[in-house]
Amino acid sequence: MNTLDVIGQFDRYVIGNYKRLPVVITRGEGSRMWDMDGKEYLDMFPGWAVSGLGHCHPKVVEAIRRQAGELIHIDNTFYNAQQGRLAELLSEKSFGGKCFFCNSGAEANEAAIKLARLAGDGKRYKIITMERSFHGRTFATMTATGQAKTHAGFHPLVPGFTYVPFGDFDAVDRASDDETIAVMLEPVQGEGGVNVPSGEYIRSLRELCDAKKMLLIFDEVQTGMGRTGKWFGHQHFDVTPDIMTLAKAIGGGVSLGAIVARPEVAAYMVPGKHASTFGGNPLACAAGVAVFEAIEEGNLLENARQMGEYFRVKFDAMKEKYRLIKEVRQLGLMIGVELTVPGDSIVTKALEKGLRINCTQQTVLRLTPSMTITTSEADQAMAILDQVFTEYEADLARETQENSDGPN
């Protein structure tokens, strides 16, 4: 089998719902991965922000191996020690809540939405979410997502969701009425373009939710588990939510999602109201516990903060150098570089040179480097990006020149 064989197999047998890059990845280690032909890539967007510790972190690999030999799955009819320990860690590192486990970000948000409706007791059911948010692809989480492109083709949507501009406190105040049970947002919008709100906005939302007895739900699927330099994104703003949702990096690469809810809110989720067959299985939870241990033992929160600063300085310098960079937005190792031009061709050029990055909202390059990244890996990534920008600007200048040299 070679790359073309695999792509051919996909063409015949896999539904074409993803825009894929023409590369077959076979191995990963830390911030690096390799394709079928042995080509090496620096991965600055590992697993769409899933591999927060980089690929195949040794502690996670060891925990999975150990757990797989003992018990891979046991249903929630029984207790299992790994689920209990992971819940304890999540609760202790956040705001002392209780956990429910599932397998993905959409499922975690779905659970939060259902829990909010339960707390609304049939009288309050409306949820305010943000424009440019992203909460998942199930029906309720897709509806919660404040982007028309995500809704297209699926109407009628789930009733009860209202969208307001991210960062506009008054809009939330105006949109909430006595049927509103919750306000739901990402502490930093990821897919929406790496949009970092002010602390004042987040704190005002908390006060508003308290005053109007609404629940504040933070979707920490992308901001969670240390990437921003704190365990959870909301900890930058000194505000605690009523419900927090998690997935992506918490399983170290294994499918794992969770919600953490204040005990009084969690109490609404009684037997029969919600469940997940795979949720909280020992294999995924053992991986989750290993992620916590790896972050603590490796002092990786500190590394995320330091390397976030390192990237900030580098990107600031790059912004001065290239006119095509409009703005750089960042919290720790969650980095968005807004361009004045579409970013797809930059992503492709970077990949050709062995650098993997992402582009969202057409013009925002997104990087979520691993918390284990070193300065030399960061330098290498920035050197490739520098080359790509230089070539892009040279191509642009040449095209402009050719057009001005045209027949008229």
Decide if residue 222 touches ligand PLP (CB under 6 A).
Answer: yes
386-408 CB burial, b ≥16 within 10 A, e <16: eebbeebeeeeeeeeeeeeeeee
Decide if residue 113 touches ligand PLP (CB under 6 A).
Answer: no
Q: Which amino acid is at 88?
A: E
Decide if residue 258 touches ligand PLP (CB under 6 A).
Answer: no
Tokens 């998690």 sit on residue: 246
Closer to ligand PLP by CB, 104 or 180: give it: 104
**Tokens representing 181?**
């049970």
Closer to ligand PLP by CB, 219 or 338: give it: 219
Q: What are the backbone dihedrals phi and psi of residue 237, each rounded to the nearest 5 degrees, phi first?
A: -110, 5
Decide if residue 234 touches ligand PLP (CB under 6 A).
Answer: no
Q: Inter-axis angle of helices 81-93 and 282-297, to 10 degrees?
A: 40
- Among 186, 242, 338, 377, the residue binding ligand PLP under the rule CB under 6 A is 186
The answer to whether the beta carbons of residues 51 and 28 sit under 8 Å apart is yes
Q: How far apart are alpha carbons 227 and 303 in whole angstroms?
A: 10
Closer to ligand PLP by CB, 100 or 310: give it: 100
Decide if residue 47 touches ligand PLP (CB under 6 A).
Answer: no
**Tokens representing 129?**
């979410």
- Among 104, 228, 368, 372, the residue binding ligand PLP under the rule CB under 6 A is 104
Q: How far apart are alpha carbons 79 and 82 in whole angstroms?
A: 9
Q: Which amino acid is at 174?
A: R
Q: Which stretch binds ligand PLP (CB under 6 A): 19-27, 59-67, 217-225, 349-357?
A: 217-225
Q: Which stretch binds ligand PLP (CB under 6 A): 35-43, 170-178, 186-194, 340-348?
A: 186-194
Q: Give residue number: closest CB to ligand PLP.
A: 105
Decide if residue 247 touches ligand PLP (CB under 6 A).
Answer: yes
Closer to ligand PLP by CB, 45 or 292: give it: 45
Q: Nearest distance from residue 403's CB to ligand PLP, in Å?
A: 39
- Among 219, 242, 338, 377, the residue binding ligand PLP under the rule CB under 6 A is 219
What does the angle CA 17 – CA 185 – CA 76 come to, to the nearest 5 degrees? Answer: 70
Decide if residue 166 touches ligand PLP (CB under 6 A).
Answer: no
Q: Which stretch binds ligand PLP (CB under 6 A): 37-45, 78-86, 133-141, 338-346?
A: 133-141
- Among 32, 126, 132, 135, the residue binding ligand PLP under the rule CB under 6 A is 135
Q: Nearest distance from residue 193's CB to ligand PLP, in Å?
A: 12
Closer to ligand PLP by CB, 253 or 325: give it: 253
Q: Nearest distance from residue 323's CB to ligand PLP, in Å?
A: 30
Decide if residue 100 touches ligand PLP (CB under 6 A).
Answer: no
Decide if residue 134 touches ligand PLP (CB under 6 A).
Answer: yes
| Number of residues lying near ligand PLP (CB under 6 A) | 14
Closer to ligand PLP by CB, 187 or 349: give it: 187
Q: Which stretch binds ligand PLP (CB under 6 A): 6-14, 132-140, 173-181, 338-346?
A: 132-140
Q: Could you list the residues that contact ligand PLP (CB under 6 A)?
A: 104-106, 109, 134-136, 186, 190-191, 219, 221-222, 247
